[in-house]
Structure 1
Amino acid sequence: MVCFRLSPVPGTGLVLLCLVLGAVSSYALEFNVTDSEKAVCLFAKWQMNFTIRYETTNKTYKTVTISDFSTASYNGSVCGDDQNNPKIVVQFGSGFSWTVNFTKEESTYSIDSISFSYNTSDKATFPDAKDKGILTVRDAVGFRIPLNDMFRCNSLSTLENSGVVQYYWDVHVQAFVQNGTVSTKEYLCEKDKTSTTVVPITSTAAPSPTTAPTPKEKPEVGSYSVNNSNGTCLLATMGLQLNFTHNKVVSIININPNTTDFTGSCQPRSALLSLNSSNVKYLDFVFAVKNENRFYLKEVNVSVYLVNGSVFSIANNNLSYWDAPLGSSYMCNKEQTISVSGAFQINTFDLRVQPFNVMEGKYSTAQECSLDDDTILIPIIVGAGLSGLIIVIVIAYLIGRRKSYAGYQTL
């Protein structure tokens, strides 16, 4: 029997469900498996989401974020027996499946592997995927935990394989539960041993770095464009500086346009500019149309190679930057910060973008950002001058009145 709990974020209630589905995507997943004696044999509680980068029919790349588990079911989750090991199986969305396998040794058990399957034939999620069908990525994990200990990892963990990045945090799991009682003794992951900060990708507060980044000079400004059958459909000019925090170490990368390749695509209501280089696997800027007459930067996806050979990846599809009317461009010459997450920001310099309605390969009239708008200084200066003049007149009047009183004597 499988019972599971969908736990809302703090401040709301808690509902226990057994073989009943229904929640919202912001809820943590929590469930337990019971054996034939109705004793708990496997317990798990965690939060997760996924980003999937796929190739489109026009040979560009898109990234989708999967974070809605409101349709989750747990068919196939088992305690395990002499022939089969325990496993957690979760089905959700349109053809998504996620499986965790456990193994047991004499005094320990292991989180052996994690598999994730998705169906690119789903037109709602992958509307223009080049390759159709069910794809699966499998990652060996190998965490070894003492028997009768709860494994806990509140810190953010990631797995990346074949364009799929899996994000996990607030993980609590115990396989091979003894005597039907979940243990209160915890075995911490390495990240929790050195840090108590939970950093999901939607966090807005960056952890305090232990190492100060080396100051970087202003990045070189590059020019990028995307073409379709009608000619140039997207223009971008900007200097880019990437700032990210990984394992409490802050890193800064200046994008060199001379060694950066770019591609993209243009649709009636969305546009993509994708950059890549030797140290940046991909940096995607996704633009969208809102209210039928304005565009804005809706999404940023990034994956950066680290010096130790690992990969740092972040995605956010709920941004709202670079807002301007359709048919115009957006311009911001001064340094501007795009906060993608608490762990990743982009500084832009001498920015100008136009993702829609490009005419003859040239920028249209620009809407300037508030940082560049110096016209507000004029009324401030004039107002300050008038205020100063009024103060001088009042002071002179008071002094004059005081002197006139001093000319009279008491009778």
Structure 2
Amino acid sequence: MVCFRLAPVLRVKLFLVCLALGAAQPFTLELNLTNSEKATCLYAKWQMNFTIQYETTNNTNNTVNISPLDNVTYNGSNCGDDHTGPKVAVQFRSGFSWNVNFTKETPNYSIDRISFSYDTKDNKTFPDAKYKGIVTVSDAVAVKIPLNDIFRCNSLLIYEKNDVVQHYWSILVQAFVQNGTVSREEFLCEEDKSLTTIAPTIVPSPTTTPTPKERPEVGNYSVTQGNSTCLLATMGLQLNITHDKVASVININPNTTDVTGSCQPKTAELKLNNSDIKYLEFVFAVKNENRFYLKEVNASIVLANGSVFSTANNSLSYWDAPLGSSYMCNKEDTLSVSEAFQINTFGLRIQPFNVKEGVYSTAQECSLDDDTILIPIVVGAGLSGLIIVIVIAYLIGRRKSYAGYQTL
């Protein structure tokens, strides 16, 4: 049995040096598989590359570094059935393929077997190769994960066999997604657990007002289902957090933020994450069969001091609009999730249902944008002011008229 293991420190440094010198650069792969009911059944996100040694016609050994940078496809990936477990299949570049199979043994599931194939007939990648043909390395992997957990491993894992060294890191995978929703409960690999250190005790300081930040950049986000877009969102997001009596403000940069989500007939989910945000999840629902609204927000955020702030609220009622339309609020607005967590939105437009041809439908504007209510207010204020001026002028006039008469 061959298991993943953490490489020695010197080896890790050598690997990183190779990357810096121009060997295969890291590329993030992401797969969100759905079943026949369009519900997520498997989610995976990871990075990997390979070092291959081969013999040349001159009886010397050459080494090449391979990373799935281009022509990446996922043909053959599936959710599994009653007889076979889920499978992730990746094809990339010219003649390279990588597969991983999963099995379920309640209450756990396992990363069962990994195989990697390459074709030495590719003269560009394997010049002067002595053997011409397809080479496959395959073996079992001993990793068991609780069924309702998502497996995370940020550490570098190395698997060696038959002149091939496989490198994996930044792994996030759940092979048996329950009820179409990717779990927020994480199961860490042993290597990540060994890197966990106890943070120094920090005496909480009095609540401080954070330094105001500039307006966040407005980003465009979307969720696709099959070949069509099912959710559209445009917004600038500023997070306001109070944790251990310390206030923080975080602007979300859409250029460095990843987007996932799902769309169901009566619920829709938009999930954002980046290096600081483990997840920021917006859940929308249908009410009365003819309107939608923001029902739930869940968040887990890494703060500047390394601590993690997490919160959830599934009883919200924001961004209400008719089905078949979008909700829009151009002016700055505040979404209060809890006493410790508020989200300021800028340039907001959202449509989580009934998106047609990938474009927004007619928007219902928020009250902040609706200027029509200002007209009667302005007219009323003007009339009130005019009446006050007339009354004051009348009183002054009467006072002057009495000033010309003297008592005899």
User: If the length of structure 2 is used for normalisation, what is the TM-score?
Assistant: 0.50
Select the residue among 319, 323, 332 that pairs with 1:322.
319
Mean CA deviation greater in 314-323 or 391-400:
391-400
Flag the structure with larger Rg.
Answer: 2
* Correspondence 1:224 to 2:276: no
Structure 2 contact 319–327 (Cα < 8 Å) conserved: yes
Q: How far 1:409 moved relative to its partner?
A: 7.6
Deviation at 1:309, TM superposition (A): 4.2
Deviation per CA, 1:119-147: give whole Å up to 9, x if none. Answer: 79xxxx9433689xxxxxxxxxxxxxxxx
C-alpha spacing 1:244/1:317, structure 2 compared with 1 (3 Å): same
Of 220, 237, 258, the residue aligned with 1:261 is: 258
- 1:351 paired residue number: 348
- C-alpha distance 376-244 of structure 1, shift in aligned 2 (>3 A): same
SS in 2 for 1:233: strand
Task: Give the 3 Å change call, closer, same or farther, for CA 408–227 of structure 1 in structure 2.
Answer: same
- Matching residue within 307, 312, 321 for 2:309: 312
Aligned counterpart in structure 2 of residue 279 of structure 1, from 258, 273, 276: 276
The answer to whether the Cα contact below 8 Å between 1:222 and 1:238 also exists between their aligned partners in 2 is yes
Match of 1:40 in 2: none
In structure 1, the partner of 2:238 is 241
The 3-state SS of whatever aligns with 2:261 is strand
Structure 2 Cα separation of the partners of residues 246 and 55 of structure 1: 36
Deviates more, 1:381-390 or 1:232-241: 381-390
Give the CA deviation at 1:161. 3.8
> Counterparts of 2:253 and 2:394 in 1: how far apart (Å)?
64
8 Å contact from structure 2 (residues 262, 269) kept in 1 = yes
Q: Look up the SS of the partner of 2:262 in the other structure.
A: strand
Residue 210 and residue 60 in structure 1: after superposition, are their counterparts in 2 closer, same or farther (change >3 A)? farther
1:127 aligns with 2:124: no
Q: In 2 relative to 1, CA 277–127 (structure 1 residues): closer, same or farther, beyond 3 Å?
A: same
Taking structure 1 as reference, are residues 326 and 408 closer, same or farther at Cα in structure 2, changes over 3 Å only? same
AA partner of residue 162 (structure 1):
F
- 1:350-399 Cα offsets, whole Å, 9 max, x none, are 11101111122111121111222222222122112212222233334444
Change over 3 Å in CA distance of 1:55–1:341 after alignment to 2? farther
CA distance in 2, matches of 1:349, 1:56: 32
- Return the letter of the residue paired with 1:128: G
Query: Which residue is 1:162 aligned to?
Result: 187
Q: Cα distance, 1:272 vs. partner?
A: 0.6
Deviation per residue, 1:284-310 (Å, 9 max, x gap): 111011111111111111111234544
Give the residue type in structure 1 aligned to 2:214: E
Aligned partners of 1:351 and 1:340: how far apart in 2? 17
Q: Which residue identity lines up with residue 385 of structure 1 in the other structure? A: G
Q: Which amino acid aligns with 2:315?
A: N
Match of 2:131?
A: none
- Partner of residue 377 from structure 1, selected from 352, 370, 374: 374
Structure 1 unpaired stretches of 5+:
1-53, 63-94, 97-116, 132-158, 164-189, 196-207
Deviations 1:231-289 (A, max 9, x none): 22111000011121222222221111111110111111111111111111111111011
What does 1:37-56 correspond to in 2, within 5 Å?
A: none
- The residue that corresponds to 2:159 in the other structure is none
Q: Could you tell me which runs of 5 or more consecutive residues in structure 2 were left unpaired when the two chains were aligned.
A: 1-31, 44-105, 108-145, 150-176, 189-199
| 380-389 or 236-245, larger mean C-alpha shift | 380-389
Q: Is the 8 A contact 2:41 2:180 kept in 1?
A: no
Using structure 1 for the length normalisation, give the TM-score. 0.50
Cα contact 1:210–1:248 (8 A) shared by 2: yes
Residues 1:212 and 1:384: Cα distance change in structure 2 (over 3 Å): closer
Contact residue 61 and residue 264 of structure 1 kept, 8 A: no
Equivalents in 2 of 1:329, 1:342: separation in Å? 28
SS at match of 2:371: coil
What root-mean-square deviation, in Å, do the aligned CA atoms of Structure 1 and Structure 2 show?
Answer: 3.7
What is the aligned partner in structure 2 of residue 33 from structure 1?
A: none
The verdict on how the C-alpha distance between 1:404 and 1:130 changes in structure 2, with shifts beyond 3 A counting, is: closer
Q: 1:291 to 1:264 in 2, by over 3 A?
A: same
**SS of equivalent to 1:258:** helix
Match of 2:76 in 1: none
In structure 2, relative to structure 1, the CA distance for the partners of 1:283 and 1:55 (3 Å cut) is: farther
**DSSP 3-state at the match of 1:379:** helix
Q: Which amino acid aligns with 2:244?
A: N
CA contact (8 A) 1:60 1:265 kept: no
Partner SS state of residue 356, structure 1: coil
The letter of the residue matching 2:180 is D
Stretches (4+) displaced over 3 A:
54-62, 117-120, 128-131, 208-212, 306-310, 395-411
In the other structure, the counterpart of 1:250 is 247
Aligned-partner Cα distance in 1 for 2:395–2:214: 55
Indicate the SS of the match to 1:220. coil
Decide whether aligned partners of structure 1 residues 162 and 56 sit closer, same or farther in structure 2, where only a CA change above 3 A counts: farther
Aligned residues: 237
Tell whether the 8 Å contact from 2:148 to 2:185 is kept in structure 1 after alignment.
Answer: no
Moved more, 383-392 or 312-321: 383-392
The structure-2 alpha-carbon separation of the partners of 1:210 and 1:397, relative to structure 1 and needing over 3 Å to count, comes to closer
8 Å contact 1:322–1:330 — kept in the other structure? yes
- From the superposition, tell whether residues 304 and 60 of structure 1 become closer, same or farther in structure 2 (CA, over 3 Å): farther
Alignment match, 2:359: 362
Structure 1 residues 394 and 297: alpha-carbon distance in aligned structure 2, compared to 1, 3 A threshold: same
